[in-house]
Amino acid sequence: LAKTTQPISMDSYEGQEVNITCSHNNIATNDYITWYQQFPSQGPRFIIQGYKTKVTNEVASLFIPADRKSSTLSLPRVSLSDTAVYYCLVGDGGGLTGGGNKLTFGTGTQLKVEL
């Protein structure tokens, strides 16, 4: 399983754009990159997923360079409610054959948003 490395913590202010970068040097050809958000005492919540280039949805953008050895989650205008732990995960490709995609969680990034 590809290991991921993220900053332990980040601080920001309301209204700012936050970019969290994740390194995954050993990513495999079949692996997707997925970001989750977790609040205390809750299960992780899916934010965004991508394979290469750029993906955008209503809450975030995901930038993946051509070599796919890193990815950057971009939160456009954060608010206090975005204070949470953000996890970058790389799948083992099992989902392509059906069944499920085993995920290994790293330390995550604790984002703290202040006024």
Partner 1 sequence: GAVVSQHPSRVICKSGTSVKIECRSLDFQATTMFWYRQFPKKSLMLMATSNEGSKATYEQGVEKDKFLINHASLTLSTLTVTSAHPEDSSFYICSAGQGQGKETQYFGPGTRLLVL
Residues that bind partner 1 (CB under 8 A): 32, 34, 36, 41-46, 49, 87, 91, 94-96, 98-108
List the beta strands (DSSP E) in 52-108.
53-56, 61-64, 70-75, 84-90
Is the distance from CB of 15 to CB of 78 less than 8 angstroms? yes
Nearer Cβ to partner 1, position 70 or 109?
A: 109
Nearer Cβ to partner 1, position 56 or 104?
A: 104
Nearest approach in angstroms of CB 33 to partner 1 is 9
Nearer Cβ to partner 1, position 3 or 14?
A: 3
Residues making up the chain, counted from first to last: 115
Q: What DSSP state is assigned to residue 15?
A: T
CA dihedral 84, 50, 1, 44 (to 10 degrees): 30
Nearest approach in angstroms of CB 63 to partner 1 is 18
Nearest approach in angstroms of CB 15 to partner 1 is 27
Nearest approach in angstroms of CB 16 to partner 1 is 25
Nearer Cβ to partner 1, position 75 or 85?
A: 85
Is the distance from CB of 80 to CB of 29 less than 8 angstroms? no
Beta bridge partners of 10: 111
